[in-house]
Amino acid sequence: MTVPRLKLGIAGLGRGFMLLLPTLAAHPGIRLAAAADPRSEARRQFRADFDATTYTEVADLCADPDVEAVYVATPHQFHREHVELAAAHGKHVLVEKPMALSLEDCQAMIDAMRRAGRWLVVGHSHSFDAPYLRAREMIDSQDFGAVRMISALNYTDFLYRPRRPEELDTSQGGGVVFSQAAHQVDIVRLLGGGHVQSVRAATGSWDSARPTEGAYSALLTFDNGVFANMTYSGFAHFDSDEFCGWSGELGQSRDPDQYGAARARLAETQAPEEEAALKNARTYGAGLSLANSQPQGIAHNHFGFVLVSCDGADLRPMPHGVQVYAHTRRYLEPLSPPEIPRREVLDELVGAIRHGCRPTHTGEWGMATMEVCLAMLESARHDREVMLSHQASVPKAGML
């Protein structure tokens, strides 16, 4: 029996949508049915690419009877409003990371979807990437003993990519803790067991022209005794893709001779309006479309250097597999190149809606990740350890 494709509506045709666009277009279980965005050029491009309905308002998208599920890819501060709209119309939801900017908003989203009797999946974060999922399977096999410690670090040019003013304002969800720690925390929680007990963190905001957190380091302790250290810098100096064979975050080949390109491009702008225009030039409908958004590489997505220390080996998820450092030998557990990059997030959504498979990245999971991110900001602000109370363990896979 053929399973019908899931009719998906897109709320927000911005950067999040663009990153997932090749996956959305290629996934055999998805049909793009409609989209909402305030930009006329984006709506026009969506109609041309998919012969689908478009709306100016997210409320109208959610009311469309041909839409079964909504991918909420609007700016962070609108996630709660748009998830609640989708729930009110009985739609399933995939909501971009970060789930929301407060635990109150996260809980309201969970409650709305629960009342509607619909699935809420939070992503895409890099914890959907195949190397981290394979590492989790290897941990679950118990072939390597218990997990004891996790080290994760990522150095990028994040802060010097073109930004709108609100993306440099922490109160509006700007900075690396909301946008980047949501990835790294999700990965570390997936590998460490999910249930974080405490957070001790420091953050760095060292450029007055970009007044938000550009770096952080954090120590996480888990209820099962695992501890993890995480470091991230978006200050565009060292690039940790050097540790991954110059394979980029999206699986693309990187050219180390392009060092300093992000800062050089930004230096050509003279005002926030010019920077916003530079960012808009990289958006859907303003020169970008389905035709020029094909997958960039053959390696798996990744989020920097990650090392999981177990009793019997260290496991290192990498773009081409999981490197195993055992007692007496070192070897690679290879992964085939992805036919459809990032398909795991849509597999999880379709699996829940069409097949009743329990998703990992539920609303409760997303809320637990946001609790860690918010605790990092609180810990850095008040110079103290923060205890957590809204955590979720890694759910067991299977049918409901």
Asked whether residue 212 falls in the same domain as residue 293, the answer is: yes
Mean of the pLDDT values across residues 378-398?
90
**pLDDT tens digits, residue range 367-377?**
999 999 999 99
Residue 308, domain CATH: 3.30.360.10
Residue 204, pLDDT > 90, answer yes
Among the listed ranges 7-16, 95-104, 198-207, 287-296, which one has the minimum average pLDDT value?
287-296
pLDDT class of 397 with cuts at 50, 70, 90: low
Asked whether residue 22 falls in the same domain as residue 162, the answer is: no
DSSP sequence for 274-326: HHHHHHHTTSBTTTB-GGG-----SSPP--SEEEEEESSEEEEEETTEEEEEE
| Residue pointed to by tokens 């079964």 | 68
Asked whether residue 206 falls in the same domain as residue 148, the answer is: yes
Of residues 393 and 279, more confidence is placed in 393
**pLDDT tens digits, residue range 125-142?**
999 999 999 999 999 999
Residue 77, pLDDT > 70, answer yes
Mean of the pLDDT values across residues 154-168?
94
Domain boundary among 323, 339, 355: 339
pLDDT class of 270 with cuts at 50, 70, 90: confident
Q: Which two tokens stand for residue 29?
A: 């279980």
Q: What is the pLDDT of residue 74?
A: 96
Sign of the dihedral defined by the CA atoms of residues 384, 159, 187, 143, in that order: negative
Q: What is the pLDDT of residue 164?
A: 87
Note down the domain range covering 351: 6-126+340-371
pTM for this predicted structure: 0.95
Mean of the pLDDT values across residues 306-314?
98
For the chain, give me the number of helices (H) and strands (E)?
12, 15
**pLDDT tens digits, residue range 23-49?**
999 999 999 999 999 999 999 999 999
CA distance 181 to 165: 20
Look at residue 391 and tell me if it is in a domain. Answer: no
Q: What is the pLDDT of residue 1?
A: 66
User: E strands of the chain, at which residues?
Assistant: 6-11, 30-36, 53-55, 69-72, 92-95, 120-122, 147-155, 196-204, 215-222, 227-233, 305-310, 313-318, 321-326, 330-334, 386-387
Q: What is the pLDDT of residue 400?
A: 41
pLDDT class of 308 with cuts at 50, 70, 90: very high
Residue-averaged pLDDT of the chain: 95
Asked whether residue 289 falls in the same domain as residue 275, the answer is: yes
Look at residue 388 and tell me if it is in a domain. Answer: no
Number of domains in the chain: 2
Asked whether residue 191 falls in the same domain as residue 311, the answer is: yes
Mean of the pLDDT values across residues 98-109?
97
